[in-house]
């Protein structure tokens, strides 16, 4: 194998930190968007119940699946070079 074929694994702390930051980022961004579209915005942020909450959680899962499969990693994996 040549040096280009050998790829070092990122540090575990980068992978874990990227996952946590992606989880919070996707939760708040997608929660705000779904709250805006469903009328769930409050003065303190958003409050989702029932179907809007289910849609938001489904979108968080879709975020992780789509970004990892089609874009080679999530936003924070790219930023922290944890791919």
Position 2 in a domain? no
Could you tell me the two tokens for 16?
């874990």
> How high is the pLDDT of residue 55?
97
Residue 81 C-alpha from the chain's centroid: 15
Position 41 in a domain? yes
> How high is the pLDDT of residue 9?
87
Beta bridge pairs of residue 42: 45
For residue 70, how many other CB atoms are within 10 A of its CB?
A: 7
Position 60 in a domain? yes
Strands, E assignment, 5-81: 41-42, 45-46
| C-alpha to C-alpha distance for 66 and 61, rounded to whole angstroms | 9
| C-alpha to C-alpha distance for 57 and 55, rounded to whole angstroms | 6
Domain interval for residue 36: 12-79
Structural domains counted in the chain: 1
Position 5 in a domain? no
Position 3 in a domain? no
Residue 78: pLDDT band by 50, 70, 90 thresholds? Answer: very high
Please state the pTM of the whole predicted model. 0.83
Could you tell me the two tokens for 3?
């040096």
pLDDT digits (tens, 9 = 90+) for 23-63: 999 999 999 999 999 999 999 999 999 999 999 999 999 99
């Amino acid at each position: 194998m040549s040096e280009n074929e050998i790829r070092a694994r990122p540090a575990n702390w980068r992978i874990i930190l990227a996952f946590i930051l992606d989880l919070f980022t996707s939760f708040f961004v997608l929660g705000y968007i779904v709250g805006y579209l469903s009328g769930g915005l409050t003065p303190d942020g958003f409050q989702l119940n029932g179907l809007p909450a289910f849609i938001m959680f489904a979108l968080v899962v879709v975020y992780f699946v789509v970004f990892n499969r089609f874009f080679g990693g999530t936003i924070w994996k790219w930023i922290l070079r944890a791919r």
